[in-house]
């Protein structure tokens, strides 16, 4: 189900982007760093290399292909290697020019090589096998354009290869040459800014350990009453009831795209929102991996000079890997500038 939701999420963010005509594109090498936790909860860092090519499909987004290779990801003295071939989707709420923040999703093919113990009678040996699996990733970053001919991209994200031990935070950097000319997309005005929120529990064993912090994206469509929204939060949590460390204080990256529809009085905007919800748990424990669900609620924007205050409350539903359902109300606020193209 999580694969289906991430695929629909990527299509949702890209659904308003035009796909015709030649656009500006970039190509260049990439370097990445990943942090994996072992069974005790201790972190281990690894470096990978690869490359990426991406085509701007409008003033609001890119679609691209990337390849990454990690020659060693072992955390327990055994072999683990990863080669990742992926389709990337980048969503730019304020356009791709200058310094351009973005949200990103990725769906890819992972070639994973891992060793496992095989015990026959009184002897045990390590066997090494390679498998092909689906990889999922989501996160945010910034594109920095250096004139007309070069661009650098820095990104932080949650990465999962579901049938392996690879559920982790990853940082990527890419320096590219840029060719072609930009084209204006179909959106009107966009904005983004820091967000803070707190989860009020309704049911289920997960509780907020502290307030969530993150970034809220929003971009209007040609329809005056609708917008495409996205909030990405760092969510420290705790498990109530019986629990054994590590895993009693899981941390997750929440990825919540949504469709917003509302009205615009002179002082701002009042809207309702509904969308998918993904929670990438990267810490060791029973929740490690992706939990999926839905979110929906109400919010308002208050215009104050050159800035916009947003206040919102939404119901969250998450389904843990164990099948348990978690419900809560996320109450939050964000501050962003009034930005257009």
* Per-residue model confidence (pLDDT) at position 163: 81
Question: What does the mean pLDDT of the chain come to?
Answer: 86
pTM of the model: 0.84
Work out the pLDDT band at 16, boundaries 50, 70, 90. very low
Query: pLDDT (tens digit, 9 = 90+) per residue, 162-216?
Result: 888 899 999 999 999 988 776 555 545 788 999 999 999 999 999 999 999 999 9
Work out the pLDDT band at 34, boundaries 50, 70, 90. very high
Residues 82 and 217 in one domain: no
Residues 116 and 249 in one domain: no
Residues 172 and 278 in one domain: no
- Is residue 184 situated within a structural domain? no
Residues 165 and 266 in one domain: no
Contacts of 41 (CB under 8 A, 6+ apart): 245, 246, 283, 284, 285
**Local structure of 153: helix, strand or coil:** strand
* Per-residue model confidence (pLDDT) at position 20: 41
Residues 169 and 199 in one domain: no
- What is the bridge-based pairing of β-strands 123-146 and 99-120? antiparallel
Residues 241 and 321 in one domain: yes
Residues in the chain, overall count: 341
Residues 164 and 195 in one domain: no
Rounded Cα distance between 156 and 214, Å, is 12
Helix (H) or strand (E) holding 4: helix 2-14
88 bridge partner residues:
64, 106
* Per-residue model confidence (pLDDT) at position 118: 59
DSSP letters spanning 5-50: HHHHHHHHHHTTS---S---EEEEEEEEEEEEE-TTS-EEEEEEEE
Domain count, the chain: 2
Look up residue 3 and give its DSSP letter.
H
What CATH number does residue 24 fall under? 2.40.160.20
- Is residue 185 situated within a structural domain? no
Query: How many alpha carbons lie under 13 Å from residue 336 in its C-beta half-sphere?
Result: 25
- Is residue 305 situated within a structural domain? yes
Instruction: Give me the residue label for tokens 């498998």.
Output: 131
* Per-residue model confidence (pLDDT) at position 257: 94
Rounded Cα distance between 89 and 86, Å, is 10
Q: 182, 181, 176, 180: which is closest to 53 by C-alpha?
A: 176
Distances (CA, A) of 218 to 204, 232, 262: 30, 12, 14
Query: pLDDT (tens digit, 9 = 90+) per residue, 298-317?
Result: 999 998 888 999 999 999 99
Mark out the alpha helices in the chain (DSSP H runs): 2-14
Q: What is the mean pLDDT of residues 319-324?
A: 89
Range of the domain at 203: 190-337
Q: Is the pLDDT of residue 89 over 70?
A: yes
Q: Is the pLDDT of residue 19 over 70?
A: no
Residue at which a domain ends, from 149, 179, 209: 179
* Per-residue model confidence (pLDDT) at position 124: 64
Percentage above 70 pLDDT, the chain: 87
Q: What is the mean pLDDT of residues 270-297?
A: 94
Q: What is the mean pLDDT of residues 120-149?
A: 84
Rounded Cα distance between 95 and 224, Å, is 19
* Per-residue model confidence (pLDDT) at position 11: 45
Work out the pLDDT band at 242, boundaries 50, 70, 90. confident
* Phi-psi region at 268: left, alpha or beta (left = phi > 0; alpha = psi -120 to 50): left
Tell the burial category of 119 from Cβ atoms under 10 Å away from its Cβ (0-12, 13-18, 19+).
Answer: exposed
């Amino acid at each position: 189900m999580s694969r289906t939701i991430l695929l629909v999420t990527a299509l949702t963010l890209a659904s308003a982007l035009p796909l015709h005509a030649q656009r500006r594109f970039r190509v260049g090498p990439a370097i990445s760093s990943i942090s994996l936790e072992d069974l005790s909860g201790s972190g281990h860092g690894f470096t990978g290399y690869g490359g990426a090519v991406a085509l701007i499909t409008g003033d609001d987004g890119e679609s691209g292909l990337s390849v990454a290779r990690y020659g060693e990801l072992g955390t327990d003295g055994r072999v683990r290697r990863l080669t990742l071939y992926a389709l990337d989707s980048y969503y730019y709420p304020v356009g791709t020019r200058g310094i351009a923040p973005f949200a990103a999703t990725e769906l890819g093919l992972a070639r994973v090589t891992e060793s496992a113990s095989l015990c026959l009678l009184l002897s045990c040996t390590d066997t090494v096998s390679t498998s092909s699996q689906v990889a999922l990733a989501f996160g945010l970053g910034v594109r920095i354009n250096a004139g007309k001919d070069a661009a650098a991209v820095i990104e932080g994200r949650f990465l999962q290869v579901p049938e392996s031990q690879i559920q982790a935070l990853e940082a990527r950097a890419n320096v590219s040459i840029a060719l072609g000319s930009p084209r204006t997309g179909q959106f009107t005005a966009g904005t983004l800014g820091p967000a803070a929120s707190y989860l009020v529990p309704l049911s289920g064993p997960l509780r907020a350990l502290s307030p969530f912090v993150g970034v809220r994206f929003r971009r209007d469509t040609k329809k005056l009453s609708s917008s495409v929204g996205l909030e990405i939060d760092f969510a420290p949590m705790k498990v109530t009831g019986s629990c054994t460390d590590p895993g009693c204080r899981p941390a997750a990256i929440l990825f919540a795209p949504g469709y917003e529809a509302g009205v615009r009085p002179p002082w701002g905007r009042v809207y309702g929102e509904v969308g998918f919800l993904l929670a990438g748990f990267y810490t060791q424990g029973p929740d490690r991996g992706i939990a999926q669900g839905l979110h929906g609620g109400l919010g308002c924007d208050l215009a104050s000079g050159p800035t916009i205050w947003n206040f919102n409350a939404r119901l969250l539903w998450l389904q843990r890997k164990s099948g348990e359902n978690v419900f809560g109300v996320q109450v939050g606020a964000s501050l962003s500038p009034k930005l257009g193209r």
